[in-house]
Amino acid sequence: MTTRDTDWDGVRLHVITGKGGTGKTTTAAALALALATAGRKVLLIEVEGRQGIARLFDCPPLPYDERKVALGLGRSGTEGGDVYALAVDPEGALLDYLQMFYNMRRAGTTLTRLGVVDFATTIAPGLADVLVTGKATEATRRRGSRGGSHVYDAVVMDAPPTGRIGRFLNVSTEVSGLAKVGPIRTHADTVAKVIRSPQTVVHFVTTLEEMPVQETLDGIEELRELTDGAIRPGGIIINMARPAMLSDADLAAAASGSLDVAELVLGLKAAGINDNHGLAAELGTELKEHALQVALQNRERAELLTSGRPHYELPLIPDGIDLAGLYQLAAALRQQGAA
């Protein structure tokens, strides 16, 4: 198989957001696996201190340190590249920032004891956000020794949920309200330059339900308004979609309650199941609910498409997500051109 263009060639920082419960972390992990083709190195970052990545990859809690957690999804006959993971928290990011720019880790420890991190998260969350996004952009820009090539071919960030994503990414504006000049402002501007460049996109994960879809559309709009289009929306990743199991005609009949139960009775009988105590009618009820759900999914999908964003669909993994399931999702993303 030859290398083909993906929808996001040139993108090096993939930010993943979505409403809680839609599978943001799972999708971010699957995208990282899909991006890590042979010879490539991908970093998966989590920012909300939930250790969701460690749970997904079944490894011990991640420290503030880049660790290899998996091999990427290979192509036929070849192994994939390397997927590294990092759990960023504001405190670690602050120490890192002090070390990197001022060589003052010790002082940082003192500040932590004094509650500077509490201060940042309590009174100026924008400052905490800029430290966290700063770590992600630093990893995106990082080059090997002697100005070599990028250390990571791509960085995938499991970001805060849709309701908070605009502010989270709009760091320079958030911080400029607080700091007109000074080092933290300079840092924020550097971070913003990466986030507002064509190498960064924000993907939205949603399920085909009313609220997640509404939040996705609102989120895309908010990002556009807040940053005047400077932060680019990526694709919409529809997660846990359930396939229709009936023809359109049967779906319509089932939804309106006009399905022929006699036909079900005959079918059950042919399969050796007697229609005792109204079993067929009960299965008919399940068919109706299935039809209503499919109709709802179709409505929500159509709604999503009004945004004009590219979209990808990931199947529901019925037995819960394990490593095999992650690779299955990664394959689906790659097949649809997301990676």
Partner 1 sequence: MSTTAPVRLDMDRIIDDRRTRIIVCCGSGGVGKTTAAAAIGLRAAERGRQACVLTVDPARRLAQSMGLTSLDNTPRQVDGVDTSSGGSLHAMMLDMKRTFDEIVEAHADPDRAAQILANPFYQSLSSSFAGTQEYMAMEKLGQLRHADEWDLIVVDTPPSRSALDFLDAPQRLSRFLDGRLIRVLTGPARAGMFGMKVLNAGFAMVTGVLTKILGAQVLRDAGTFVTALDTMFGGFRERAESTYRLLQAPGTAFLVIAAPEADALREASYFVERLDAERMPLAGLILNRVHTSPAGRLSAARSLAAAETLEMQDRPEETGAGPRYELAAAALRIHAERMNLGKRERRLAEHFTSAHPAIPVAEVDAQPEDVHDLDGLRVIGLILSR
User: Which residues between 131 and 160 bind partner 1 (CB under 8 A)?
Assistant: 160
* Smallest distance from partner 1 to CB 163, Å: 7
Kindly state the tokens that stand for 145: 């020794």
Question: Does residue 284 touch partner 1 according to CB under 8 A?
Answer: yes
Among 41, 75, 185, 224, binds partner 1 (CB under 8 A): 185
Helix (H) or strand (E) holding 235: strand 232-241
Question: Does residue 324 touch partner 1 according to CB under 8 A?
Answer: no
* Smallest distance from partner 1 to CB 246, Å: 5
Among 58, 225, 248, 282, binds partner 1 (CB under 8 A): 282
Q: How many CB atoms lie within 10 A of CB 184?
A: 18
According to DSSP H, which parts of 2-74 are helical? 24-35, 52-56
Kindly state the tokens that stand for 235: 């694709």
Question: Does residue 259 touch partner 1 according to CB under 8 A?
Answer: yes
Among 39, 63, 182, 229, binds partner 1 (CB under 8 A): 182
Kindly state the tokens that stand for 329: 């999702």
Question: Measured between alpha carbons, how far is residue 210 from residues 214, 288, 317 in Å?
Answer: 6, 19, 21
Question: Does residue 303 touch partner 1 according to CB under 8 A?
Answer: no
Give helix then strand counts, H and E, for the chain: 14, 8
CB neighbours of 333 closer than 8 A, spacing ≥ 6?
30, 31, 34, 237, 312, 314, 339
| Residue 66 backbone dihedrals phi, psi, to 5 degrees | -80, 120
Question: Measured between alpha carbons, how far is residue 312 from residues 186, 244, 324, 329 in Å?
Answer: 37, 17, 19, 11
Among 78, 256, 285, 335, binds partner 1 (CB under 8 A): 285
* Smallest distance from partner 1 to CB 115, Å: 4
* Smallest distance from partner 1 to CB 137, Å: 18
Complex with partner 1: residue 44 or 154, whichever CB lies closer: 44
Among 264, 304, 333, 339, binds partner 1 (CB under 8 A): 264
Among 15, 85, 128, 139, binds partner 1 (CB under 8 A): 128
End-to-end CA distance of the chain: 15
Interacting span for partner 1 (CB under 8 A) from 13-21, 36-44, 143-151, 219-227: 13-21
Among 40, 75, 150, 290, binds partner 1 (CB under 8 A): 290
Helix (H) or strand (E) holding 315: strand 311-315
Among 119, 142, 221, 322, binds partner 1 (CB under 8 A): 119
Complex with partner 1: residue 70 or 264, whichever CB lies closer: 264
Interacting span for partner 1 (CB under 8 A) from 109-117, 139-147, 226-234, 324-332: 109-117
Q: Which residues, numbered 61-100, are part of the site for partner 1 (CB under 8 A)? A: 97-98
| Selection from 313, 234, 209 nearest residue 16 by Cα | 234
Question: Measured between alpha carbons, how far is residue 159 from residues 166, 187, 201, 267 in Å?
Answer: 11, 20, 12, 49
* Smallest distance from partner 1 to CB 315, Å: 12
Question: Does residue 219 touch partner 1 according to CB under 8 A?
Answer: no
Complex with partner 1: residue 150 or 290, whichever CB lies closer: 290
Kindly state the tokens that stand for 334: 């790659």
Question: Does residue 286 touch partner 1 according to CB under 8 A?
Answer: yes
- As a residue count, the chain comes to 339
Which of the 8 DSSP states describes residue 8? T
Among 1, 180, 306, 324, binds partner 1 (CB under 8 A): 180
What sign does the dihedral 93-99-105-111 (CA atoms) show? negative
Among 287, 314, 329, 339, binds partner 1 (CB under 8 A): 287
Complex with partner 1: residue 113 or 146, whichever CB lies closer: 113
